[in-house]
Structure formats: structure tokens, C-alpha cells
Structure 1
């Protein structure tokens, strides 16, 4: 397995999940997997799959960022 040259979409998504889990250690990995699965489902009808892992990662990062509410100081 290579992070920079994954064999397939599945392998690329595994890296996305691992990356986001390391980047957001306070969020349970199952939550990240669930969001990735939802984002992947949204792309199920897309025929050109080359950029799907990047799209899924971007949308998942956005959703994780938006779910964190800033605390008042």
C-alpha cells in the first residue's frame, strides 16, 4: 500500500480515514467512518472515480470542522 499511489479507491479511502482520525483524535473513528461512508454514497452515481477520495476527504473535513462549535471566551 502506498499513500501517494493507492491501488484503488478503497485503499485511498482507508488512507483518508486514517489521516482524519489522526488529525481529529477527539472524534471517534467510527464517526469519521460513518461520515466518509455518507460522502461516498453521495458520489455513487459519478462515473469518473479518479477524484472521489479527494472529494470525500474535503467534504468530510468540512463536516468535521462544522460540527465543532467554538467555545465562548
Structure 2
């Protein structure tokens, strides 16, 4: 977590809130949350807190490899 800085792009797995069995790789940006002042993940005009539970990847290739290992070779 210490290597995340404002402006960084990261890749995360994002589950569709309407169809829970669908997950995609999404690019998110590290920003300062205007409400808390803390660093946060910005995705789809929403700020998400950065916690120790956050699994993120610094490259799309890395995210695709882990995605395929976890979900099967479907990406």
C-alpha cells in the first residue's frame, strides 16, 4: 500500500453489481478523496477507500494473468 501515490493507475477485479457472477478487469486511478482527504481508488465516479484487503495490480498483463488463474481462461 505504501507504493500507491496520487495519479497512479492500477487494475482491479470489479464485480458487476447487477450480475454477481460477472467480473471484469477495470483500470482505476488513485486520487485524494475530497470528503476524507485520504488516498482513495476512483472508479465509475465513486471513491473507494484503500484498505489492506484491496487486491490491485500495476499492469494490465499482471491483472489478466491472475484473472485467468482465478476465473479460468475466459478473459
Relative to the length of structure 2, the TM-score reads 0.27
TM-score (norm: length of structure 1): 0.28
Task: From the two aligned structures, give the one with the greater strand fraction.
Answer: 2
